[in-house]
Chains A and B, each alone.
Chain A
């Protein structure tokens, strides 16, 4: 067992609120019996601006990867608009290593609907689209059933609960494109055009879906809203890390004994998550590397995890980011060249092809990395690879370019020795060949 792991008290002290351990919560009668839609009813007695203020003060940061303050995002929406306003709930969940929104859709879909309703009420929105990746067929069915139940209970639709507030919630199914998780690409996908990201500005709050004011929030972000309204911002802002508070769904995959999604307060030590929550490494091997927040985030060395915690501040200091909180653990026997080649292949396949640096750069990086994988690389290839990555970063319309560059850059910064070793081995390989 790892020596850095501390007492187990902290592990058990958190009672899950996003994914409470209650069965049948996906059925409305069970959800209602467990104080379901109580937060929405409470919100309906508040003024819309009071709700936005509450979310702002809670310090909730978006759970879709960028950690943007949700209340601030909501406040960008114009109060008075001649055009209709829209909410898009992002359930595209395609970031490798990420499988958390799926749990909400499966086990607590009414929490998502309740959060969507509160968001719509707060921003004066009458139509919300929940965009779900095409592969999540089972989850789409479950959510649709929950939506139907909510309609039948007058919680969605016209004159909700006898008030003059009306909102419709629709599911829009994706069809297999990582890029559609990018907010402007997601809007294009809903509009029925190729899912190309849009240039910003204009930002969605001014010019979003069909040129109308639009807010896009991740599924987990929206699921946090009823928790904030129910418990108040003061309670919420004290959960977990100060600058990035609240419960967070952390997914752990790769070389661990007990992979899965765990709900915990932000700011948990990374090593504790790996050893206590996810059961440690099979065969008691060491940790070579960890990707903390989905494949786009900077890779961390296994021997430098001691003070790293699962929150915005701490991971930023460590040279990475929370991303989608999808931790991928790699044990001491892992071939990191193979790992980074596969990551590069992913971005090459998923680049939408709109911007030259990303379209050409991702395939170039993949080709260079294939040379490393196949023991055909030279020493110059290391710097060439870094050069290509550096020239993609910051030079594209959307963040996919950065997302493709960061893992490659960080792999070279953290594990240059692995690349050099491969070059040495390549010489031997060519001789023996």
Chain B
């Protein structure tokens, strides 16, 4: 369910677009920020709110890699392994994370604290290698720097 505050925001956003269909992505973002993922129930809620078939909402959710249908760990660590990062050692960064967290890329730790993902170019090639945790980019990574970042995660 969208929070009351977010429902008001959606109403305000309606004037920006000629159709309510355009509000799907903004609404999905709000849901994901509220709950960390987008459940079936949430999709049905948005379907009713915007008067758009559930199947269409599902189609949109599954198209975008940043939208999660399943719960992710408290800290979602996304490591860019595309070429610019690869040339500057992202392979070692990912390997170190896998060893340290005891999970492979694409997995969530059993305590649900970490989810580790390999992602495509994050647009930070000048400061490669790079990873993102939640809303934050961490750039110019070294193993030492990476350890400090992980240590600081609560």
What residues make up the interface of A, taking CB atoms closer than 8 Å to B?
84, 93-99, 102, 127, 133-138, 168, 170, 172-178, 189-195, 210, 251-255, 259-261, 291, 295, 326, 328, 330, 334, 338-339, 342-343, 346, 349-350, 352
Q: How many angstroms from the CA of A99 to the CA of B23 in the assembled complex? A: 28
7 further interface pairs, Cβ-Cβ under 8 Å (given A97-B84, A251-B126, A259-B128): A96-B125, A173-B26, A174-B25, A254-B84, A259-B125, A339-B83, A349-B120
Contacts of A350 in B (CB 8 A): 120
Chain B, interface size: which category? Answer: 35 or more
- Whether a CB of chain A sits under 8 angstroms from the CB of B19 is yes
Chain A to chain B contacts (Cβ below 8 Å), 13 pairs:
A94-B121, A97-B84, A192-B25, A193-B60, A195-B64, A210-B18, A253-B125, A253-B126, A254-B84, A260-B126, A295-B83, A334-B87, A346-B120
Cβ of B19 and Cβ of A192 under 8 Å apart? yes
Min CB distance, B49 to chain A, in Å? 13
Give the CA-CA distance A194 to B21 in the complex, in Å. 11
B132: chain A residues within 8 A (beta carbon): 135
Residue B87 contacts which of A172, A195, A330 (CB distance < 8 angstroms)?
Answer: A330
Confirm or deny: B105 has a beta carbon within 8 angstroms of a beta carbon on chain A: no
- Chain A residue nearest to B15 (CB atoms) is A168
Q: A177-B63, A254-B83, A339-B83 are in contact. Are A94 and B120 (CB under 8 A)?
A: yes
| Chain A residue with Cβ nearest B60 | A194
Q: Indicate with 1 or 0, residue by residue over B100-125, a CB within 8 angstroms of chain A CB atoms.
A: 00000000000000000000111111
* B6 CB–A CB distance under 8 Å: no
Q: Is B24 an interface residue (CB 8 A)?
A: yes
Enumerate the 4 nearest inter-chain pairs by beta-carbon distance, A residue then B residue, closest first: A176-B66, A175-B64, A253-B125, A192-B21
Given A194-B60, A251-B125, A350-B120, verify A135-B66 contact (CB < 8 Å): yes
The CA-CA distance from A253 to B126 in the complex, in Å, is 5
Interface check B67, CB cutoff 8 A: yes
* A97 B121 Cβ-Cβ under 8 A: yes
- With A94-B123, A342-B82 as known contacts, state yes or no: A189 contacts B67, CB within 8 Å: no
Q: What CA separation (Å) do A299 and B44 show in the bound complex?
A: 47
Chain B residues with Cβ below 8 Å from A138 are: 135, 137
**Inter-chain contact B123/A136, CB cutoff 8 Å:** yes
Residues of A within 8 A of B81 (CB): 342
Interface centre among B23, B29, B59, B121 (most CB of A within 10 A): B121
